Amino acid sequence: MFYKGKDSVKAKFATHTREPVKKIIIGHDVWIGQYALIKQGITVGTGAVIGMGSVVTKDVKPYTLVAGSPAKIIKKRFDDKTILGLLKSEWWNFSEKQLHKLGEFFNSPGAFLENIRK
């Protein structure tokens, strides 16, 4: 009843402008646990993991696992060199054929990156 614009309230007591909604940006291959809450304007990096019921109030770096309320860094999923390699590879843009060929290396990021270069 205090904001400008159409809504369900007919009586208006002021016409304050609403702030624009800030979008949440979710990277590729992100896992978000059940009941997690993510504040507007947050960026969740590629490969990140957000634990169940977490309240995310800050950006989450790529390939980082966060959990809790507020969410805190639990650990990086891989070392910095591997994270950089995965990000540079942009493997999420690969064709199904390429991914099928590389699928056997899925559980070994080092071998996966090595075989991408071949």
Nearest 10 degrees: CA dihedral of 113, 82, 32, 57? -150
In a shared domain, residues 32 and 68: yes
Residue 10 has pLDDT above 80, yes or no: no
Give the rounded distance of the alpha carbon of 77 from its chain centre: 14
For residues 113 and 118, give the distance between their C-alpha atoms in angstroms, rounded to a whole number. Answer: 9
Indicate which residue of 1, 4, 9, 16 is catalytic: 16
In a shared domain, residues 63 and 29: yes
Residue 16 annotated among the catalytic residues of the structure = yes
- Report yes or no on 13 lying in a domain: no
DSSP code at position 43: E
**pLDDT tens column, 18-76:** 888 999 999 999 999 999 999 999 999 999 999 999 999 999 999 999 999 999 999 99
pLDDT of residue 99: 94
For residues 12 and 96, give the distance between their C-alpha atoms in angstroms, rounded to a whole number. Answer: 55
- Report yes or no on 37 lying in a domain: yes
Q: Domains in the chain: how many in total?
A: 2
For residues 50 and 74, give the distance between their C-alpha atoms in angstroms, rounded to a whole number. Answer: 10
What is the amino acid identity at position 50? I
**pLDDT tens column, 63-118:** 999 999 999 999 999 999 999 999 999 999 999 999 999 999 989 999 999 999 87
Nearest-5° Cα angle at 46, 41 to 49: 85
For residues 21 and 7, give the distance between their C-alpha atoms in angstroms, rounded to a whole number. Answer: 16
Domain boundaries, position 87? 80-116
- Report yes or no on 62 lying in a domain: yes
Q: Which residue has tokens 């169940």? A: 52
